[in-house]
Structure 1
Amino acid sequence: MTENHTQYAADLEFAKQLADLADSISLPRFEAADFTVATKADRSFVTDADTAVEAALRAHIEQHRPDDGFLGEESGQVDQGSRQWIIDPIDGTSNFLRGVPNWATLIALAVDGKPVVGVVSAPAFGQRWFAALGDGAWKSVRGAAPTQLGVSQVSSLDEASLSFQSIEQWEQAGHLSPLLDLTRAVWRDRAYGDMWSYMLLAEGVLDIVGEFDVKPYDLAALIPIVTEAGGTFTDIEGATSAWNLSSLATNGHLHDATVSFIAHAKESHR
């Protein structure tokens, strides 16, 4: 299969250029472990690699796409506009700090608030996932020719593989009991964490991913990849949005059943 070229093809190529720039900064720092660390107000970590990547991408966008807006995890929002680049410079900073290779730069373009281009670049894995609206979802490994992605065909919860990301997230959101009920209903549950869970879903390896306490820069790049692979991406209650602080991604076949299961379990534990 070959990649198509629809209206966002040029934006996708630009996003890949941004990913190349990000990788050139982040991977050497990860391998050398010479970064400095600070704690943000929300008690999450930020390294100078995070800030360096975001500053470089923001400068590149401002130079080459001066009419587009910007939203970055570290520097906030600049001129939202109808077209906005949304950046998480290092998704999985805690992994980055501990030498775990499960981290990535997330790059998205949203048009009128809808993510239409997504690139997830994980240089420590040597893998990159990307999609543009109407072009399908793709994965490349160490620069090899990309292969197209497709979600699984699992259609029953008792045959599904679930990644719930973090028990603490679900507990703080008041959904611990529904999570435990869901883990008992599915075939298998794990917490693969961060962007990788969603990419495994797009590859057809997982069937359900759910998460709380997530911001647009955590999700925007993931949405086109999951949906172009044939999946469905909403918040926990089934609303289509990257802005509602929760996420539920499935292979599509299981989405309505999963939303209903969580809602029913939540109600039964009141």
Structure 2
Amino acid sequence: MTGYADDLTLAHLLADAADAISTARFRALDLRVEAKPDLTPVSDADTAVEREIRALLATHRPGDGLLGEEYGEQPATGPDGRRWVVDPIDGTKNFVRGVPVWATLIALLEGDRPVAGLVSAPALGRRWWAARGAGAYAGPDAGHGTPIRVSGVRDLADASFCYSSLEGWEQAGRLDAMLQVMRDTWRSRAYGDFYGYMLLAEGALDVMVEPELSLWDVAALVPIVTEAGGTFTTLDGAPAPGDPVSGDISAVATNGPLHADILGRLGRATAR
């Protein structure tokens, strides 16, 4: 076991509590949904999950910091400056429409580096987790995980390529490049949100890209992809998750052999 074993145990406890709340509200007839200032939806399940996770962390890790999508930043008070980053429901648009592809994302950061991550998708009956130096795993719960590994595909013509949507790439001036990548790959699908990254970590697809993200969207995904043997950078080729201070966060996640090719085609250095 690694130095993060206790943290992963806690992450599973947080996920268990989150799952109990979110599954009870999924497809609920009285689900309350509002629009945030950025016009993205937030449901009563999002806020309830984050409140519960905050309460549990206050009990189990009172000195750790916390950044959550719905309630913002709580600075660390402990000497090591560790912080948890939480997206209570990643895929809220799916959640509110009854689509089962959504998850709670839980990450532990040391400085700006994610060292442990967990993704729990209870409507899919699946969970993924990893910690630095300990490998990546997937299964229905902590007691039934099996190791996962990225694919060995080396040629883009043989690759399954995944993305979230085309709108962001159009706004970034990279739509033509994206369409060309889609033409050049064996298969392309827009699974979106956390799910593409988890399929990549399992070896079910080979590339997942997004042009603009928040820290809570990506922090939990980085350890899982990299511990499964993949490569995860920003569009600039910098180590993921990028620069949370400036908000310059993007994602290029691959099985490794395809990374340089994808960066060369989509990276910001070649934009416009």
Q: TM-score range by the shorter chain?
A: over 0.9
After superposition, residues 57-72 of structure 1 pair within 5 angstroms as: 57-72=53-68
Shift in Å, 1:241? 2.5
CA distance in structure 2 between the aligned counterparts of 1:149 and 1:183, rounded to whole angstroms: 26
Is residue 177–residue 266 contact of structure 1 (8 Å, CA) maintained in 2? Answer: no
Q: TM-score, normalised by structure 1?
A: 0.94
After superposition, residues 33-112 of structure 1 pair within 5 angstroms as: 33-80=29-76, 82-112=81-111
CA distance in structure 1 between the aligned counterparts of 2:16 and 2:268, rounded to whole angstroms: 44
After superposition, residues 252-263 of structure 1 pair within 5 angstroms as: 252-263=256-267
CA distance in structure 2 between the aligned counterparts of 1:165 and 1:34, rounded to whole angstroms: 29
Please tell me whether residue 199 in structure 1 is matched to residue 207 in structure 2.
Answer: no
Identical-residue share of aligned pairs (%): 52
User: Could you give the per-residue CA deviations for residues 133-172 of structure 1, whole angstroms, max 9, x where no partner exists?
Assistant: 1111000136762110000000111111100210011111
After superposition, residues 1-270 of structure 1 pair within 5 angstroms as: 5-80=1-76, 82-141=81-140, 145-242=144-241, 243=244, 244-263=248-267, 266-267=270-271, 270=272
CA distance in structure 1 between the aligned counterparts of 2:29 and 2:134, rounded to whole angstroms: 37
CA distance in structure 1 between the aligned counterparts of 2:16 and 2:135, rounded to whole angstroms: 21
- Structure 2 residue identity aligned to 1:238: G
Change over 3 Å in CA distance of 1:80–1:175 after alignment to 2: farther
Between 44-53 and 236-245, the greater mean CA deviation after superposition? 236-245
Shift in Å, 1:53? 0.3
- Structure 2 residue identity aligned to 1:73: E
Shift in Å, 1:176? 0.8
Shift in Å, 1:236? 1.4
- Structure 1 residue identity aligned to 2:42: V
Change over 3 Å in CA distance of 1:142–1:67 after alignment to 2: closer
Between 151-160 and 241-250, the greater mean CA deviation after superposition? 241-250
CA distance in structure 2 between the aligned counterparts of 1:99 and 1:155, rounded to whole angstroms: 37
Shift in Å, 1:13? 0.5
Between 116-125 and 242-251, the greater mean CA deviation after superposition? 242-251
Is residue 149–residue 202 contact of structure 2 (8 Å, CA) maintained in 1? Answer: yes
User: Could you give the per-residue CA deviations for residues 186-212 of structure 1, whole angstroms, max 9, x where no partner exists?
Assistant: 111110111110000000011000002
- Structure 2 residue identity aligned to 1:172: Q
Is residue 236–residue 269 contact of structure 2 (8 Å, CA) maintained in 1? Answer: no
CA distance in structure 2 between the aligned counterparts of 1:143 and 1:218, rounded to whole angstroms: 22
Gaps of 5+ in 1: none
- Structure 1 residue identity aligned to 2:127: R
Is residue 237–residue 267 contact of structure 2 (8 Å, CA) maintained in 1? Answer: no
CA distance in structure 2 between the aligned counterparts of 1:85 and 1:225, rounded to whole angstroms: 16
- Structure 1 residue identity aligned to 2:146: T
User: Could you give the per-residue CA deviations for residues 75-120 of structure 1, whole angstroms, max 9, x where no partner exists?
Assistant: 1111056201000000000000110000000000001110011000
Gaps of 5+ in 2: none
SS at match of 2:213: coil
- Structure 2 residue identity aligned to 1:152: S
